[in-house]
Amino acid sequence: MLVTTLGRMCGIIGYVGASSAEDVVLAGLRRMEYRGYDSAGIALVTADGLAIAKKAGKLANLEKVLADQPLPPATTGVGHTRWATHGPPVDRNAHPHISDDGKVAVVHNGIIENFAALRSELERQGVELSSDTDTEVVAHLLAGAYDSSTEPATDRFAAAMRAVCLRLEGAFTLVAIHTDHPGQVVGARRNSPLVAGIGEGAGEYFLGSDVSAFIAHTRDALELGQDQVVTLDVEHGIAVTDLAGTSLQPRRFHVDWSAAAAEKGGYPWFMLKEIDEQPAAIADTLRGRLADTGQIVLDEVRLSDEDLRDIDKVFIVACGTSNHAAMVSKYAIEHWTRLPCEVELASEFRYRDPVLDRSTLVIAISQSGETMDTLMALRHAKDQRARVLAICNTNGSTIPRESDAVLYTRAGPEVAVASTKAFLAQLAACYLVALYLAQARGTKYADEIATIVAQLNKLPDAVAETLGRMDQVRAIGRELAKEPTILFVGRHVGYPVALEGALKLKELAYIHAEGFAAGELKHGYISLIEQGTPVVAVVPARGRNSVHSKVISNIQEIRARGAKTIVIAADGDDEVAPYADHLIHVPKTPTLLAPVLTTIPMQVLACEIADTRGLDVDQPRNLAKSVTVE
């Protein structure tokens, strides 16, 4: 069981082939810098041994070092962008780390939980460690295991990796090179992502934390499973084994997006590009989901309709922005299926000993498919014999592989740390899953499902229309850029939208922001409001059982205390106008689907405020794209 309290999502790339390893590795690191930007480094196997360069700070710092002090030519190498856990982000703690004999270089994502004991063991042997990291012990252990190995030469380095992995506790991805094997890279993974790429040229292979590392070179990849070791060999190809050395045949898959999708395309920030890509992300996620028979179709299903009819309770587990998508989906699931549904933070789920059994469905939502808290919640659910359905944006990642059913969002690569298009794609996927459950359980007729799908299919155009109205929001963002506090309120499905708006502002602009249910104002939150405090309010459309009038009353309450109100409402809703200092209209859509539109002004507002404050929109401080250990 993992007990660590810190997470890390570093970017790793390994390469063997005929091209310049330095060029391939640096290009891969640029595409993965969103995974960590506390430091960066590169190691090459050259004719004269290992050549290494590493530097604290963003990748640009390393590139400057290499421009001033070029490395010798090489066709085998590894690289790393770091999000710091063990040891501060200084030069000595940057990866790669080198063995004491100077022959092994290793890069690492994750946390070695027993590193202190291993470090003490090495120090007793007289090894002098030069960093504060848990990673360096692996380099020394690999060198020792290699020297004592009796395996054939071609498998000797992989055998050393297997031996070392058997000693390690925690979650890790390791990629290493050795001067005695200039055409070989060896990697291993446990509870941390790693994928192999098959180059278009003979003898060209890649390893990466995700496919963006090598997407410019190939879109053909191999899934690597838990406790597997992979060897890239320029002469002998790719070999995958378990930790016992048994040969395995990994599943091959093709990436359905190109390198261009991972580039800025003329935008100043990836986040702006990804906000504008939201109509396509939703359309692609919805495309082909309604079969000619009128049935909702998922990507992979190992559950029968009878299994789903046996379900008597649903839990949704997720983290961060994905948890807000889960909160929205709770409304849809309960309304369309009449199943009780609970939303849980994945990091808390298994520690409170939830009551699960074979009649429980657990839905796990993760953009990367590697979010460790969500993965461990999934495994706990499986241990309790619950059925698991995954919503994920990354083909071949761990969470969908370990689930009973999968619906992939098709948002393409999301590089900005703060999620935008992946969130809206998750919302679309959550609606589809809710309809799938309603279909299997018979709580919605086929024509009712088709009607809702038709409404969903109108969302991409509505999102595009909303994006075209954002100049007003950008102006509001510039006006609010110096505010110390901004509050967000909503009711019903507007409540998770308020939470998402506050999270985006905290992530990007480092402003104190809170989102809360508008009905809770009188229970304490209203004490936060002073003269001029900006409050963003999400107003639901009018309709049967709508809380529209109640939200207007809430807005009147906060205005009476001096708040400055920024109100998001549906087209045609002028009733709220007298109570809004700024009124932002979005196209009218059914209440349950409204978060897809009302979220967009929140995204643009946070982005504009951060940009006006001179902050890095794509790479906020202290954050990485996902957390891949607990």
- 35 backbone dihedrals φ, ψ, rounded to 5°: -80, -15
| Contacts of range 471-478, beta carbons closer than 8 Å, 24 or more positions apart | 472/582, 472/584, 473/584, 473/601, 473/604, 473/605, 473/608, 474/604, 474/608, 476/566, 476/582, 476/584, 476/605, 476/608, 477/604, 477/605, 477/606, 477/607, 477/608, 477/609, 477/612, 478/608, 478/609, 478/612
Separation CA 244–CA 227 (nearest Å): 10
DSSP state of 627: -
Separation CA 378–CA 399 (nearest Å): 8
Max CA distance (Å), the chain: 81
Q: Could you tell me which of 308, 336, 330, 591 has the C-alpha nearest to residue 449?
A: 336
Tell me how far CA of residue 37 lies from CA of 32, 94, 275, 469, in angstroms.
9, 11, 22, 34
58 in active site: no
Catalytic one of 103, 504, 506, 625: 625
Give the other-Cβ count within 10 Å of 587's Cβ: 18
Catalytic one of 10, 165, 341, 607: 10
DSSP state of 607: H
Residues 6+ apart with CB under 8 A from 68: none
625 in active site: yes
Beta-bridge partners for 585 = 569
Annotated active-site positions, please?
10, 625
